[in-house]
Amino acid sequence: MSTTAPPQVLPQANDACWCGSGRKYKRCHKPLEGRVVQGEISPYRPVPTHIERPSYADTGQIIRWSEQRVKTPEIIERMRHAGTLAAEILRLAGEMVRPGITTDEIDAFVHQITIDAGAYPSPLNYGGYRKSVCTSVNEVICHGIPDSRALVEGDIINLDVTCYIGGVHGDTNATFCVGEVDPVSRKLIEVTEECMWKGIEAVRPGQPVSDIGKAIESHAKPHRYGVVKAFIGHGIGEQFHTDIQILHYYDPRANTIMRPGMTFTIEPMITLGTWQHKMWDDDWTAVTADGKRTAQFEHTILVTDDGYDVLTGGEGAVSPTAPWNH
């Protein structure tokens, strides 16, 4: 109901919820057994003034303008630079993942290394988002906000890194294990990364973008995994999100034809149970409706004359199953 923080002393299960909804605490804000509980969010981390800022950085308002879908070679080279940096930051952030570290500490690290590289951390103040990276733990599908919660052995965590440099964004994410993780979650992570690659391998000029979702969905299906529908891949370039939509499931209406020079992300979110989501009161954190775990991987892709190029790939990228690691 309300968006205020819970009080220090929590009600008993059958008492009225602290939020004022009039419902019993146990039917309202009482955390369910084994679910992620939100911690404290630390103050805004400033970005030095010498770093070029995207349009929303000061106001938090996302203003969209029309941006060419097919990029010039010059923009593509800038995007490759932003993408390579995002991939490197993601890899380094992934190395921080261990039991006991808080997601806020990961945020502080990502924020600092992004700035040190001369880039702006794209999530910061994007539509009012308050942190420099998204940290999504266990049943959190995406857009988890870094906070004081310490990672626990057995957790899984997605880190979604985007940076803005040279006037363009590079966007990439991966899911990591916290210490020893159960085989069911490990399999989910493995298949989710495969789903992303199946989607990427479907990128071909002249074909509709629905081929991407078709490939992802067909790979998830035999495992009886869910494919999240509410969050999709997106065009990217001078803006974090442009009008191109990349569904991760099959819909024949996704009939945009891929053209050489187009740039977009492919970022499937795959679940152990339902594909449906619920939102936390913070209006950012999306969780699976059944509380089961979910994983995600993301790359920024360029359509080439005969297929695709991964702008967030290369030597420094984190993907163990990526083609360049074969």
Binding region for ligand MF3 (CB under 6 A): 123, 126-127, 129, 134, 143, 160, 162, 171, 234, 265, 267, 298
Residue closer to Co ion by CB (options 171, 194) is 171
242 contact choice in Co ion, ligand MF3, none (CB below 5 to 8 Å, kind-dependent) = none
Partners of 203 in the β-ladder: none
Give the CA radius of gyration of the chain.
Answer: 19
Q: What angle do CA 117, 81, 206 make, to 5 degrees?
A: 155
215 contact choice in Co ion, ligand MF3, none (CB below 5 to 8 Å, kind-dependent) = none
Residue 121 makes contact with Co ion by CB under 5 A: no
Q: DSSP character for 277?
A: E
126 contact choice in ligand MF3, Co ion, none (CB below 5 to 8 Å, kind-dependent) = ligand MF3
Residue closer to ligand MF3 by CB (options 12, 61) is 61
Which one of the spans 37-45, 149-157, 217-225, 290-298 is the region binding Co ion (CB under 5 A)? 290-298
Residue closer to ligand MF3 by CB (options 114, 265) is 265
In the complex, the smallest distance separating the C-beta of residue 265 from Co ion, rounded to whole angstroms, is 4
Beta strand extents in 166-312 (DSSP E only): 168-177, 226-227, 233-235, 242-246, 263-266, 269-271, 277-279, 286-288, 294-296, 299-303, 308-310
Which tokens belong to 79?
A: 């995007």
Q: DSSP character for 323?
A: G
13-51 residues labelled b (16+ CB within 10 A) or e (exposed): eeeebbbeeeeebeebbeeeeeebebeebbeebebeeeb
In the complex, the smallest distance separating the C-beta of residue 324 from ligand MF3, rounded to whole angstroms, is 21
In the complex, the smallest distance separating the C-beta of residue 132 from Co ion, rounded to whole angstroms, is 12
In the complex, the smallest distance separating the C-beta of residue 268 from ligand MF3, rounded to whole angstroms, is 11
How far apart CA 317 and CA 140 sit, in angstroms, is 23
Binding-site string for Co ion from residue 150 to residue 169, where x marks contact by CB under 5 A and - marks none: ----------x---------
What is the contact surface with Co ion in residues (CB under 5 A)?
160, 171, 173, 265, 298
